[in-house]
Amino acid sequence: MTNLNELYQQVILDHNRKPRNYHELEDPTNTAQGYNPLCGDQLKLYVKVGEGGVIEDVSFVGSGCAISKAAASMMTVTVKGKTVEEARLLFAEFHKLVTGELDPGAENHLGKLKVFAGVSEFPARVKCASLAWHTLHGALEGTDTVSTE
């Protein structure tokens, strides 16, 4: 478990220091603001959905803790090129993972996102890790503002 914790820390730190897709997206088809009142994390998510419901591009801007920024960064990398339905499936699996309802060793579609399995041991951090995912869900559903409360 120590190696997994070290990998988790390395991935989180890397994506926090150098977040991927961290910019405003021109001409998004969907946007949403996300807030985590518990610790003050906030982000704006930009999504461009193309033909066939494919997420052609996705980006974010905002501020927050290392976990929320890293989770947003990894989420954008993961959902780009996926369909909206695939993104919804990933959201459901990710939420189950960080809340401890999904065994990371069980068959799933999470790939590298499994590094967030350790978040389930820290209940206060679950909302940090899932903020970007809730915001993506809101953006795809046409909700302007999302809160983790």
Q: What is the pLDDT of residue 4?
A: 60
CATH number, domain 2-141, options 3.30.360.10, 1.10.510.10, 3.90.1010.10, 1.10.10.350: 3.90.1010.10
What backbone phi and psi angles, to 5 degrees, belong to 17?
A: -70, -40
Query: What pTM was estimated for this model as a whole?
Result: 0.92
Q: Which residues contact 126 (CB under 8 A, 6 or more apart)?
A: 98, 99, 119, 120
Of 145 and 12, the structure prediction assigns the larger pLDDT to 145
Question: CB-based burial of residue 43 (10 Å sphere; 0-12 exposed, 13-18 middle, 19+ buried)?
Answer: buried
Judged by average pLDDT, the poorest of 30-34, 116-120, 133-137 is 116-120
Write the single-letter amino acid at 129. Answer: A
- What are the pLDDT digits (tens) for 84-102? 999 999 999 999 999 999 9
- What are the pLDDT digits (tens) for 33-81? 999 998 899 999 999 999 999 999 999 999 999 999 999 999 999 999 9
